[in-house]
Amino acid sequence: MVRSLVQNRFRLLVLSIGFALCVTAGWAAPARADAAAAARAQAYLDQRQAGVDVLSFVHYGAAYRGHRLIATQAIDGRPADVCLVYQFSWDDDGWTHVHFYCDGNGRVYAIQAGRHNAVIQQPWAMAKVAIQILGRVLVEAVANDPQAKADAIRKIDAADVQGMCLDYVRARQR
């Protein structure tokens, strides 16, 4: 049976509207973060030593009391990526949410401090005071990679504690 041009366009219009409704309703939602990628990142980040190390950047000098994954979030516009949100407990009653942004391979590419209950011990602040000590630790951690070492030295000079923390996590995640 031969369809007319009008019939074909009408059929295409109906199919397009149907697809749009399915996407809107969530039946054909775009792909979300890869669970395997999240698991790869989590395998490193769940380790106690990773938590101790990250806390030493976020709240330098604070006593580590533990950390746990509290949320896994998709990242808008980056369907293969995932944000792992950990709650770090420190000192007597301090807590801070730290967001680890991971690519589709589970590699951390950004770190941000989120909500916290700190009054004096603000995220990243005390580490800026102790930047030279942390800088030496970072330079040792990336000593085998000349580019990473040069980047670390630049960040030490710029007092880029967040960038230093990211470099440290990435070096240890390998």
Phi-psi map region of 159: left, alpha, beta (phi>0 left; psi -120 to 50 alpha): left
Closest CA to 37 of 70, 12, 73: 73
Please give the Cα distance from 169 to 171 (Å, whole number).
5
CA distances (Å), 115 to each of 55, 71, 99, 130, in order? 14, 13, 10, 23
pLDDT attached to residue 62: 95
Q: What is the domain partition of the chain in residue ranges?
A: 35-173
- What's the rounded Cα separation, in Å, for the pair 90 and 64? 5
Q: What's the pLDDT at 28?
A: 37
What are the CA-CA distances from residue 112 to residues 96, 123, 144 (Å)? 10, 9, 26
**What is the C-alpha separation between 128 and 122, in angstroms, rounded?**
11
pLDDT score, position 171: 92
Cβ atoms 102, 67 nearer than 8 A: no
Structure token pair of residue 81: 């990526």
User: Each residue's pLDDT tens digit in the chain (174 positions)?
Assistant: 455 544 545 454 444 454 444 433 444 333 445 688 889 999 999 999 999 999 999 999 999 999 999 999 999 999 899 999 999 999 999 999 999 999 999 999 999 999 999 999 999 998 888 887 778 788 888 889 999 999 888 888 887 889 989 999 999 987
- For CA atoms 127, 131, 136, 139, the dihedral sign is positive
pLDDT at 90 (0 to 100)? 97
Which ranges of the chain does DSSP label H, i.e. alpha helix?
Answer: 5-25, 35-45, 48-58, 125-129, 131-141, 146-158, 161-173
Q: Confirm whether pTM is higher than 0.75.
A: no
Q: How far apart are CA 79 and CA 132, in angstroms?
A: 38
